[in-house]
Structure 1
């Protein structure tokens, strides 16, 4: 059947108008009451989980007619959900809860055609996610066990952790992985990006304390050597283009530096390539990795490192939002560009670079929202 994607988007806008908390609460209430066996797959506190549900739905509906964007996202989601114990048998229950929720908030606007379109669309989502999960079931575990070996509190709200896995984790430099502090916050997960290239058992994680964030609070405030973690499968596509030999522009905001350090590490192992790394922060205090940045610039003649501070008059170097500093520093139209940081920083930087002449298809980015 042909799915009316415009009708789905319009209907979801109506549903979302009731508020994300109300919509998500109805969904999970129905799911847990009708299928109580699913409750143990989720954390005790559902506040963050409700935000994640609505965020995922928004992304899916926004890209419902953009297969090139949607399918890779769903495949990542399917592989990642194995860590919760998600099985193919759970997808019908979730679909039933979703359609019930949509029907409830649609009111008189709900029609048999909408029911059929949503059911067909969810069928594609479920098939894509479960198919991706099944493909990797025999090849890799649902998670990797790890131990915290070092906690370096760089500022009151930023810590650099060294963790060690029992077997190598198959991420690619620039990719992220979800982290569960099993001895501190079981069943709570958040995405972080290794700051080193893969290949060994040790992984470096940069963690910034997020107000109300259970995982970041546990890792920054309470983690110590010996604590146990679980690491989920790799996700994300902000990675080096293996077919490109163009020079690189890397733009980081705060702990968005981590994946770009992994990219630099990978470049060094591959022989190097002309690379400019711009790191932006609001204050001098937030230059939490200054020593390592200086060492990288000293060690690699093909690497230039620039630090930009936006809000601290004590800083004598480049001042202003890092996106502005980068755009004013040169012509980057011949570079491959990778950008990582907060959603606002990434949005501004990408828009500024595109306006300055960088082709949009040369820019890869990742933002550290509430993943």
Structure 2
């Protein structure tokens, strides 16, 4: 993988070119523009390689992939075609590093990954649909290019607070994007999503500026392991940057719903005070629940309160080695916060966050 990674962009272009040339029937399963999809393939491969020495995590990740691929119409019969083209692409770009031993190892690895994905998809198919139509029932602008969109699935949609869901709009078919519900499961079954219109983001811009009450979206299976049941300590540290507050807010609602003996420290971060998103909502929650303490940090503006990046502020207020930590926000912030926490004694297994876009996109 270290040999191929510098050539990854070319390799993924080649992979999809030969896949569509040799197996043209699969082309309609993909969007017209393939840039995002090529990035997802590479991130998924890198994630699989990262997890190769952690079988439980690898199986969990591949299971998520298998269930998620149901919404594309993926069948067991498609896996041999993908494997054939993937191995051919690796062989082409690995050059002399692609030995007989390497080829055998990758062939075996792909067979394991494919079987886990197929089994997960088949088990999932027995209990729930591949997609859920969902009608927009409420939309509220939140400023700074953010919209709060509430949808009601037409069929029961079970998920856990802290997970994320995939979403397809009627304006950009086959272009799925991933968002975290900002609420714990509700009795009425609705989900509230916080969407920021990002530069160049076709789907996010459509959701923020075009979507209206009554429009029907489609949801894929919920994904992610950043859930409350992973916590071992009563002390919880929650760190959110930008719209990364959404899954954190859902987790806090779940703590309140369960009435468990948790103490929660919540840090919110942004570049400027105007971007310090959702503070008032969280302050109101802290007034209702004595177990919740909130601090906001601004890194690029002089205003009253805490100034600095979230990782620096965490180091100042720590240590946090007796807490379970939930991180959500831009990948650089999450990486830096994780490094700060582990350096000051927090065990890696007590730091929870979603993978950095192995199959995700923010557009």
Normalised TM-score (structure 1):
0.92
SS in 1 for 2:141: strand
Q: Which of 273, 285, 289 is equivalent to 1:296?
A: 285
Distance in 1 (CA, whole Å) between partners of 2:347 and 2:93 is 41
2:233/2:322 contact within 8 Å kept: no
Change beyond 3 A, Cα 1:266–1:156: same
- Deviations along 1:212-267, one digit per CA (max 9) or x if unpaired, are 22222221232221222111111111111367451211111111100010001111
1:346/1:366 contact within 8 Å kept: no
Distance in 2 (CA, whole Å) between partners of 1:357 and 1:245 is 15
Change beyond 3 A, Cα 1:357–1:321: same
Residue number in structure 1 paired with 2:183:
196
- Deviations along 1:139-195, one digit per CA (max 9) or x if unpaired, are 0111111011222222242221111112232111111111111x1211111111111
Q: Which of 278, 287, 290 is equivalent to 2:267?
A: 278
Change beyond 3 A, Cα 1:105–1:202: same
Q: Which runs of 5+ in 1 are unaligned?
A: 1-11
SS in 2 for 1:14: coil
Distance in 2 (CA, whole Å) between partners of 1:252 and 1:58 is 25
Residue number in structure 1 paired with 2:116:
128
**How is 1:177-192 mapped onto 2 (pairs within 5 angstroms)?**
177-181=165-169, 183-192=170-179
1:188/1:214 contact within 8 Å kept: no
Residue number in structure 2 paired with 1:6:
none
Residue number in structure 1 paired with 2:154:
166
RMSD value, Cα: 1.7
**How is 1:200-219 mapped onto 2 (pairs within 5 angstroms)?**
200=187, 201-219=189-207
2:198/2:204 contact within 8 Å kept: yes
1:340/1:368 contact within 8 Å kept: no
Distance in 2 (CA, whole Å) between partners of 1:21 and 1:359 is 35
**How is 1:1-371 mapped onto 2 (pairs within 5 angstroms)?**
12-18=1-7, 20-181=8-169, 183-200=170-187, 201-241=189-229, 244=232, 246-272=234-260, 273-313=262-302, 315-366=303-354, 369=357, 370-371=360-361
Which range is displaced more, 100-109 or 265-274?
100-109
2:23/2:81 contact within 8 Å kept: yes
Runs of 4+ in structure 1 off by over 4 angstroms are 367-370
Change beyond 3 A, Cα 1:312–1:328: same
- Matched pairs, number: 357
SS in 2 for 1:234: coil
Q: Which has the higher contact order (CA 8 A, sep 6+)?
A: 2
2:195/2:208 contact within 8 Å kept: yes
Shift in Å, 1:368:
6.0
SS in 2 for 1:346: helix
Distance in 1 (CA, whole Å) between partners of 2:23 and 2:122 is 23
2:234/2:323 contact within 8 Å kept: yes
- Deviations along 1:82-106, one digit per CA (max 9) or x if unpaired, are 0100011110010011011112212
Distance in 2 (CA, whole Å) between partners of 1:23 and 1:245 is 44
